[in-house]
Structure 1
């Protein structure tokens, strides 16, 4: 992550970063000089400087009749980061306590399963993150999966540190591996089904009540996924998994 990406995390957009870096290098400068150094038109530069003043990272520097600006010391960026962190923490608390419950009431009450479809690496990454997020909120942090040999090398491609994150969250997993292979991992129990036909089984099924995720490979080895949110469906899959697990 470079400097611009880090500062963007704390609320400084890329053009503001260019202006700040230009001011650090030049010292106090006029709007025209700043615009030239940052390669941004003067009108936009003026508007951005006003926003940066509010953020406390640039200040007016009197020099004759013309308005000049100067960059605050880089240490001021830490104050910006801490302020942003406080705002995010407050927003997260409000999201958890008020926003999510209010939005949940907008959903119609229904006994039907809630089904979502995802595709490509970005979609699979969302599903994997959903597994960790959902299970980490439960009292018993554990879930179960069927993992076929053909999909293993593609599954974690968009989220290579998935297992490390799972272990960090203290989440246990039971794995029924279809076909040989599958590495041992911390907080994971694994059993195998050695089937000759396993080469054609290219799917991964995660059971994490109240959800079930079914991930498979489409043409070109691109993964697709369907996530079903239904306590009854998840419970049925859990019973089937437990029965098979105890028989292996």
Structure 2
């Protein structure tokens, strides 16, 4: 029987071991429990006290000693429901109070508004940020400038990115610099012709952020994410104007 889920209720491996022992032994003394589990008596006693305080076990005097017993296992479900209720309250507080309050404390601009990422893991982080940021907006759409030479590198660390975007019904408009690119659901694409090769680059405009991805070397991508509403809006104006001409 796998009892690892009990860790979600705050029980550690020792407490799970003691809890299981009480079901196997029935009402037992500390000495018997310690002997059965191989845990020293002092540690056993302290753990049992903590478990009793959470209502998982109880004890009763028997002569000069205490006898411990496990409570009905349905108590576990009650504890889980209490944790779930507390977590829902925490989530609500984060959404309505704490997170808006922390955002309010942030200066309009600081070094923290610019983030740098490197390698495949970094690019995956940026792509996930695009989905998370746009997914919270009413109009779930973002815009992209993308060159042909970066496309086969971009989704290497996150191959199901497009599938996740589609599942979230997030729209994207792409101005493709150079040939190539595939059509997909919830996407529009226009092409900007060039006379020669263009360095690998990808610019995503998803207000209040702009992400810029390029290649530091042939197989090593780097990214800069700027969180600045004014910059994002100006880039959006440029994108929309060019989109209208194409």
The two structures have a TM-score, normalised by structure 1, of 0.71
Relative to structure 1, is the Cα distance of residues 28 and 67 closer, same or farther in structure 2, using a 3 angstrom cutoff?
closer
The alignment yields a C-alpha RMSD, in angstroms, of: 3.9
Counterpart for residue 239 of structure 1: 237
Say which SS state the counterpart of residue 105 (structure 2) adopts.
coil
Say which SS state the counterpart of residue 154 (structure 1) adopts.
coil
Q: Is the contact made by 1:10 and 1:81 (CA closer than 8 Å) also made in structure 2?
A: yes
Shift of 1:211: 0.4
Q: Is the contact made by 1:27 and 1:71 (CA closer than 8 Å) also made in structure 2?
A: no
Unaligned runs of 5+ in 1: none
Structure number with bigger Rg: 2
Figure out how many residues of one structure are paired with residues of the other and give that number.
239
Counterpart for residue 100 of structure 1: 99
Please, which moves more after superposition, 130-139 or 16-25? 16-25
Shift of 1:216: 4.1
1:178-201 CA distance string (max 9 Å, x none): 666655543233445687846x62
Relative to structure 1, is the Cα distance of residues 15 and 53 closer, same or farther in structure 2, using a 3 angstrom cutoff?
same
Shift of 1:92: 1.6
Relative to structure 1, is the Cα distance of residues 236 and 53 closer, same or farther in structure 2, using a 3 angstrom cutoff?
same
Which of 195, 207, 210 is 1:209 aligned to? 207
Shift of 1:26: 5.0
Shift of 1:39: 6.5
Q: Is the contact made by 2:30 and 2:44 (CA closer than 8 Å) also made in structure 1?
A: yes
Q: Is the contact made by 1:145 and 1:206 (CA closer than 8 Å) also made in structure 2?
A: yes
Please, which moves more after superposition, 36-45 or 102-111? 36-45
Counterpart for residue 89 of structure 1: 88
Counterpart for residue 227 of structure 2: 229
Unaligned runs of 5+ in 2: none
The two structures have a TM-score, normalised by structure 2, of 0.71
Counterparts of 2:217 and 2:21, CA distance in 1 = 49
